[in-house]
Chain A
Amino acid sequence: DVKVTQSSRYLVKRTGEKVFLECVQDMDHENMFWYRQDPGLGLRLIYFSYDVKMKEKGDIPEGYSVSREKKERFSLILESASTNQTSMYLCASSLAGGRTEAFFGQGTRLTVV
C-alpha cells in the first residue's frame, strides 16, 4: 500500500514562529503536493514538486516555502506563522503522468495562536 505520512496530526504554534510540516512517501513518487483545506474553500494548492529540488507555485504560495532535497520527503515551511495560516494542511504524492491519482496523508491541523 502507498503510504504518505505527515509528521504531526495536530500542531499549535505561536505567531511569528518558524514552522516545519514534514511529509514522507514510500512509493518512489515523482510528484508531491501541499494543500491547505478550509471550510467552503476546498483544497487549495500551495506548492507542487515534480522532482527533487524542483518546485512550482500553486494558487496560494504567499507566506510559505517548500523544500525537496530527497525524493521521498517534501517539507512545507511557514517562515513566520500568522493566525490566518491556521488551517488543515494536506500532503499528497503521485507518480508522474496525467493518469495517476494522488495519495494523501492524514493531514496536519495547524493552529497559530
Chain B
Amino acid sequence: AQKITQTQPGMFVQEKEAVTLDCTYDTSDPSYGLFWYKQPSSGEMIFLIYQGSYDQQNATEGRYSLNFQKARKSANLVISASQLGDSAMYFCAMREGDGGSQGNLIFGKGTKLSVKP
C-alpha cells in the first residue's frame, strides 16, 4: 500500500501568489515525521521543512509552512509569495518510528511546480 500520496503531478502558480502542494500519508505508528524536499532541475535534493507527529504547532520555515492535519493524515506544503526559483519538483516523505531499524524514509511521487512570471 502506498504510504505517501501526492495527487498533483503538476501545478502552475503565478509569481507572488501562494500555492499549496498536497500530501497525504498512511501509518499506524503514533510516532512519525513528515518531510518536504525540493528538487530543482539541477537534481540536488534540498530539505525544506519537517513536522513531527507530536508537534503541537504547524511547522514554518521562511516562506514555507506545513498545514498539518493529523486526523486527516495530511501534511500539505504551503509556499507563500512564489518566486521563479521555486519552480522544481517537490517531494513529501515520511519516517516512521523513532529510529533504529524503523528509520527508513519513504517518498511520494512528487509534484512538479511551475511558477509563471
Contact = CB atoms under 8 A, between A and B. Distances in A.
B28 to A, nearest CB: 15
A94 B105 contact: yes
B33 interface: yes
B94 to A, nearest CB: 10
B101 A56 contact: yes
Contact of B105 (A33, A40, A42): A33
Contacts of B107: 35, 42-45
Interface residues of B, number: 29
Contacts, number: 74
Contacts of B108: 42
B52 A45 contact: no
A104 B42 CA distance: 13
A41 to B, nearest CB: 6
Interface string A44-88: 110010100010101100000000000000000000000000001
A11 interface: no
Contacts of B99: 30-31, 50, 96-98
Contact of A92 (B6, B45, B109): B45
Interface of B: 6, 9, 31-33, 35, 43-45, 47, 50, 52, 91, 93, 95-101, 103-110
Interface of A: 30-31, 33, 35, 40-45, 48, 50, 54, 56, 58-59, 88, 90, 92, 94, 96-99, 101-104, 106-107
